[in-house]
Amino acid sequence: MEKRTGIARYEEAAMLLPHRLRRFALALNDHQKERAEELRLRTRRPLTVLTPEGEITAAPGQQDSVVTAEDLEQMVSELTEYSRYASLETLRCGYLSVRGGFRLGVCGTTVLRDGAVYNIKDYSALSLRIVREWPGTAEPLMEQLSGADGGFESTLILSPPGGGKTTLLRDMIRCLSMGDQTRAPLRVAVIDERSEIAVSAGGCAQTELGNHTDVLDACPKALGIPMVLRAMNPQVIAVDEITTQSDCAAACAAANCGVSLLATIHASGVEELLQKPLYRDLLDAKVFRRAVVLERDGEERRARVEPLICAPALPAP
């Protein structure tokens, strides 16, 4: 059933392509469709599909599969429902949230105003991200993420890019928000800086995040964390990809307010995490107590839980 769902999601994404290119995307075999992560369109280059092993050309040797500038313009127009101005806030950040739970990355020529990006024009490349959900993925892990009092321990999800962190993060949010026979549901506030967790469109989350989840969309984490602390009374705050010192400072402040945190970081494991100076304060302050490390074993992804509370001190730079 999961495999069939993966193929169906790919085919839904392919239907968002310009009509001329759809048939090339749909011609992939089921195994390729099930593993596809993105459809990539670059001007004067053939349509490609990103898989965990790398990019594959959808139609090798077929000149008709070469993407034109008109294809990119048509696709952005259709996905913004011919109202790009209404999508300007995210478009100038390089992406669009697309109805159906997809996400479009955009490259082109930036238009600057007062030193900031105001818009993007003359599109050169588009990346249609196939957002997937695997309900139940996190359930085997949740018991290991509880403390002695049964409450949720602040947790980091670790893997290299493309390792499945955001997919697991979504399902952990759902599990925390829904609860089960042994755990009460928790209020979860999601700071979705780049609209990758909820993939919100028109104020509605397009992924299943549970009944007690509140989403602050398109807001920087450093600003959003104190906002939800003041306004939404969360028990857990969830964010994707802590990448700046200001993100770390906001997470430390939230931990001091008695809120649990759930976040992702690019690292192959705890050992690599300990070598990154950016996260020194988070680790020294023991903000996070558990790490879920994602590893790839062939075509399968595996997760293991490790403690962080006794993490050794980082070496001096």
Give the domain-ending residue among 129, 160, 186: 129
Residue-wise pLDDT tens digits, 234-244: 999 999 999 99
Residue-wise pLDDT tens digits, 91-123: 989 999 888 889 999 999 999 999 999 999 999
> Would you say residue 2 has pLDDT above 50?
no
Same domain, 157 and 298: yes
Contact 291, 198 (CB under 8 A): no
> Would you say residue 5 has pLDDT above 60?
yes
pLDDT (mean) for 304-310:
82
Same domain, 123 and 185: no
> If you write DSSP's letter for every residue of 172-211 in order, what string do you get?
HHHHHHH--SSS----EEEEETTS-SS--BTTB-SS---T
The pTM assigned to this predicted structure is 0.86
Q: For the chain, what is the radius of gyration of the CA atoms?
A: 20
Give the domain-ending residue among 97, 129, 161: 129
Overall domain count for the chain: 2
Q: What whole-number percentage of the chain has pLDDT above 90? A: 72
| Conformation bin of residue 144: beta by default, left when phi > 0, alpha when psi is -120 to 50 | alpha
> Would you say residue 207 has pLDDT above 60?
yes
Contact 279, 248 (CB under 8 A): yes
Instruction: Supply the CATH number for residue 175's domain.
Output: 3.40.50.300
Same domain, 41 and 175: no
The beta-strand segments (E) located in the chain are 38-42, 48-51, 54-57, 95-98, 102-113, 116-129, 155-159, 188-192, 213-217, 236-239, 260-266, 290-297, 300-307
pLDDT (mean) for 136-154:
91
Same domain, 58 and 144: no
Give backbone dihedrals phi and psi of 239, rounded to 5 degrees, phi first: -140, 160
Same domain, 96 and 154: no
Same domain, 124 and 144: no
Same domain, 79 and 146: no
pLDDT (mean) for 244-253:
96
Handedness of CA 159, 160, 163, 166 (dihedral sign): positive
The pLDDT, as a whole number, for residue 8 is 92
Q: Structural domain of residue 88, as residue ranges?
A: 2-129
> Would you say residue 141 has pLDDT above 70?
yes
Same domain, 223 and 252: yes
Same domain, 153 and 98: no
Residue-wise pLDDT tens digits, 156-205: 999 998 888 999 999 999 999 999 888 999 999 999 998 999 998 888 89
CA-CA distance, 54 to 170, in Å (whole number)?
A: 24
Instruction: Supply the CATH number for residue 79's domain.
Output: 3.30.450
Same domain, 172 and 300: yes
Residue-wise pLDDT tens digits, 255-304: 999 999 999 999 999 999 999 999 988 899 999 999 999 987 766 788 99
CA-CA distance, 57 to 28, in Å (whole number)?
A: 10
Q: Is 317 part of a structural domain of the chain?
A: no
